Chains A and B, each alone.
Chain A
Amino acid sequence: MSTKPNIRELLAESACEHQQPQKKACNLPTPGATTGGCAFEGAQIALFPFADAAHLVHGPITCVGASWETRATLSSWPGRDLTRMGFTTDIGLNDVIFSGEQKLQDAINYIATRYRPQAIFVYATCVTALIGDDIGLICRRATAVHGIPCVPVHAPGLVGSKNLGSRIAGEEVLRHLIGTAEPEQTPPFAINLIGEYNVTGDMWQYSHLLEELGIHVLSTLSGDGRIAAIRAAHRARLNVIVCAKSLISQTRKMQQRYGIPYISLSFYGKRDTSAGLVAIAAALGDEDLLARTRSLVAREEAALEEKLTPYRERFAGKKAVLNTGGNKSWSIAAALQDLGIEVVATAVGKSTEDDRDKAREYLGPHGVLMTKPAQQQAQIIDETGAHLLLAGGRSLYTAIKKGIAFIDVNQEKKKSYGAYSGLLNLAEDVANALDSPVFELVGRRAPWEK
């Protein structure tokens, strides 16, 4: 058996809805017309939230030098938070010529001795993949020497997109970690949260509700994650994929190998959060749990409605245009609708078929699905009289020119918009934007302009 994941097989994911057999593999980037991250970044996104593991990037400085500490994936791990650290072999010209294997081995020893992590993930990058450093072999040896899992992650940037990298990361976790330890206990309602990275504490917006229901999060991949927990993930009753289609290969294989069913859901907005909680309870197949979940959902929704009342009055009749990508094209739209704001258009240029369908479902027949938002959004604002534009920074000028409020949704956000309580954060941000004098003020003509 090959020690490396099979890329072609991972690309042809049968459980992936948008996968058509005749379709060209979706990992071929166009030179000069490509945006978005590489496979290494995808692997990093999927695994870096494990704060009790060290993440060693075997490559030149760009890969981690420009990327560590960029994602606010919070952790409650009481030890040194290794997700806020950067480790790299920082290979030089000599290593490129004479191999970087010895350096890698020494680096692993250094980390294992000094930081005593629960595991070490070792990431291949373009240059070290090209010069053929055998990270698989070095990791096998290091695992034996140090007695902790050293996991090779074969997702160098050149193999494809961010999405593929996340899949490869899931595959490596499946090969090297899951099933290598047993849990201390297996409560009846044990689940794994897959693809929840706890960015800005998103997971903590709803995890207390699961706890209250007696649903035990056995492990996560990988928000606030623990290596010991993911090693025992094969004992869960259910895999819950949170907003991450890229890890569907992993959950499908876990179903085949361990008989664990999976469901896919989102915790953005009131309706999705409620539906998500009920779906988990239903999938666990316990009538009493389902009944308790329904009453908890009713209680939470009622409490939220009360807190949202002043905002709803403020937002009555307000219209928004949303220009973002991926699942945000519908998840943020849903959250805005929950606040009583009409979403008149959303961008779907970079969305999958599945995301487009969802966006259509949420916006209804009259909502505009923008395929070229940069050209379309100004006109739509004029036609609909929208009051708010939610987009990336490059659209700021459109909002200023139209004299309407603007929220930057593509910047790394600082607070969570997840679940019920996150909706209040979103409401506060929207209210502040609508009330702010700055958008009109900076649109003012200068004294020397006629």
Chain B
Amino acid sequence: MGEVTSRSKPLQVNPFKLSQPLGATLAFLGVDGCMPLMHGGQGCTSFTKVYFTRHFGEPIAIQTTAISDAVAVLDGGDYSIIEAVRNITAKVKPCLIGLHTTGLPETKGDDLRGVAAQVDFPLVWVNTPDYEGGLESGWALATTALIAQLTESADLIIGEKMVLLPHVSMTPIEVERLRLFIESFGFTVVVMPDLSTSLDGHLGQKQAALSSGGIRVDDISALANANWVMSVGASMKSCAAQLQRKNPALRSLHFSHLHGLQATDALVTALLAASGQARPADSVRRWRARLQDTLLDSHFLLGQTRFLVAAEADQLAGVCAAIGEAGGKVTVALAPTPSPVLAEIKADRVLVGDLEDAEDLATDYDLIVGGGHCEALAHRLGKGFVLRGFPSWEQMGNQLKTDCLYEGGAYFLCEMANEIARMKHHGE
């Protein structure tokens, strides 16, 4: 564990940082029947829609308040937001409107809270200017807002109920697997926000007018009567704290990530303690043994490989841990935005930066694990490449992948080992 650094420069070159409003949009897409409404110029929404449509391979529901030049000067948000809600509800009947801002209305100082109070329709609002934070903070801020504005305070608890708060980079199937894993210990789990039933790439009768799948608004209202809240990822800690304010009796569990043997062991230990069970289900024990075996099988290839990992901080922490367990050497761990979790990462260098920084360190690594923008980098530098995180435009099945828990950990190690073998084969 070393010092977290960043290069001082006046710009981002080849950025893999994503904005706060994008994170907030995704969180609202994890709520069933929701219409995410981005308060900004129409382009922010258009870019967001295209970006996620290509990433998830699914139609994406989103609308814009479409601030124009004249409106920007004269309006304090009242006109564009109220008019947008009117126009949306004239066509469709969402269960909820998820209002989130971009830099434009924040620069001119729109009073979101004041306008929201004038809207006679279920609406959650959140300030997410894109000149601050990033994807993780946008997702977390929207989740916190959903809890703060919708969840009713409670003083009773349902013994086996657990609220799961996954970070933004967990794939829909990772979320589903984790829910089933926890349920195998006898809990009933409510996921918030839940992309596992909305953006998991399922064929439905939808026209994408609204989000289809995700946590129901009723379930958000009733979140606080749980016995436990589990947050995964440093970015989600504040969301758990918000929920605990609704019910002081709520007990919390926190994991930085759930990649690899040790993290999953820690999860199982906690679940056994919380449930009072002596042993996990047979399948859990079988998968642990398979991961042990895979660690032994893959350590030879992974152990002689140097890695660049570029990902959102919470995913970065997990991927670096999984690689490290198999003896792989993470020489560069690169995050787009600062996070307290970066200080926990074991790597020669932990950087906050862009893909130009990654390029400048090209002699330090052999294999890149990162999002779609790393592909051109890997190609130009002749490095191996395993696609993880955002965006995934060129490869299929991103939302079906799972790297977490014992089972996903085994798949992930195999995929990296195969890529290393392929590199070596082509290099000779």
Contacts and interface: CB of A to CB of B under 8 A. Distances in A.
A105 B175 CA distance: 45
Contacts of B67: 126, 158
B5 interface: no
A131 interface: yes
Contact of B41 (A90, A104, A157): A157
A84 interface: yes
A106 B8 CA distance: 12
Contacts of A93: 129, 131-132
Residue of B37, B69, B83, B102 ringed by the most chain A CB atoms within 10 A:
B69
Contact of A126 (B45, B84, B103, B372): B103
Contacts of A103: 10-11
Contacts of A35: 46, 49
Interface stretch (A269-277, A355-363, A392-400): A392-400
Contacts, number: 210
A412 interface: yes
Interface string A8-30: 00000000000000000001111
A35 B62 CA distance: 9
B10 A89 contact: yes
A411 B396 CA distance: 14
Interface stretch (A61-69, A221-229, A333-341): A61-69
Contacts of A64: 15
Interface in A358-375: 374
A1 interface: no
A62 B22 contact: yes
Contacts of B9: 110
B12 A397 contact: no
A191 to B, nearest CB: 32
Interface in B122-163: 129-132, 134
A34 B88 CA distance: 10
Contacts of B134: 61
Interface string B1-37: 0000000011111111111011000000000000001
B43 A88 contact: no
Contacts of B108: 130
Contact of B13 (A85, A104, A131, A392): A85
A185 interface: no
Interface stretch (B53-61, B236-244, B278-286): B53-61
B107 A131 contact: yes
A156 B102 CA distance: 14
B10 A60 contact: no
Contact of B12 (A33, A90, A106): A90
A140 to B, nearest CB: 19
Nearest to B203: A442
A308 interface: no
Interface string A123-138: 0001100110000000
B164 interface: no
B18 A91 contact: no
Contact of A90 (B11, B43, B107, B372): B11
B107 A66 contact: no
Contact of A27 (B15, B37, B68): B68
A126 B40 contact: yes
B15 A90 contact: yes
Nearest to A84: B376
A33 B63 contact: yes
Interface string B385-405: 000000001000000000000
B131 A37 contact: no
B207 A29 contact: no
A61 B19 contact: yes
Contacts of B13: 85-87
Contacts of A39: 43
B66 interface: yes
Contact of A38 (B46, B57, B131): B46
A106 B72 contact: no
A40 interface: yes
Given A31-B66, A96-B103, A394-B208, A87 B12 contact: yes
Interface string A87-114: 1111111011000000110110011000
Nearest to A408: B57
B65 interface: yes
Contact of A88 (B11, B37, B59, B208): B11
Contacts of B84: 31-33
Contacts of A66: 18-19, 22, 47-48, 50-51
A347 to B, nearest CB: 14
Residue of A59, A68, A394 ringed by the most chain B CB atoms within 10 A:
A394
Given A30-B66, A107-B10, A397-B206, A62 B44 contact: yes
A67 B19 CA distance: 12
A31 B83 CA distance: 6
Contacts of A7: 69
Contact of B15 (A88, A91, A156, A161): A88
B320 interface: no
B41 to A, nearest CB: 4
Nearest to B82: A31
B66 A29 contact: yes
Contacts of A28: 68
Interface string A28-60: 111111111111110000000000000010011
Contacts of B130: 60-62
B11 A130 contact: no
Given A56-B11, A65-B17, A90-B17, A394 B68 contact: no
B276 interface: no
B271 to A, nearest CB: 32
Nearest to B16: A65
A31 B81 contact: yes
A195 interface: no
Nearest to B62: A35
Nearest to B205: A397
Contacts of B131: 60-61, 91-93, 95-96, 127
B85 interface: yes
B118 interface: no
Nearest to B37: A32
Contacts of B45: 34
A106 B12 CA distance: 12
B42 interface: yes
B12 A158 contact: no
B104 to A, nearest CB: 4
Residue of A60, A85, A92, A392 ringed by the most chain B CB atoms within 10 A:
A60
A159 interface: yes
Interface string A67-86: 11110000000000000111
A41 B46 contact: yes
23 contacts: A28-B68, A32-B84, A34-B42, A37-B46, A60-B131, A62-B22, A66-B18, A67-B51, A68-B14, A68-B15, A68-B373, A86-B14, A89-B10, A89-B11, A107-B11, A126-B67, A127-B104, A158-B72, A159-B69, A392-B59, A393-B57, A394-B206, A394-B207
The 9 closest A-B pairs by CB, nearest first: A38-B43, A32-B84, A32-B87, A157-B41, A106-B10, A29-B66, A31-B84, A107-B11, A157-B43
Interface of A: 7, 27-41, 56, 59-70, 84-93, 95-96, 103-104, 106-107, 110-111, 126-127, 130-131, 156-161, 374, 392-394, 396-397, 400, 411-412, 442
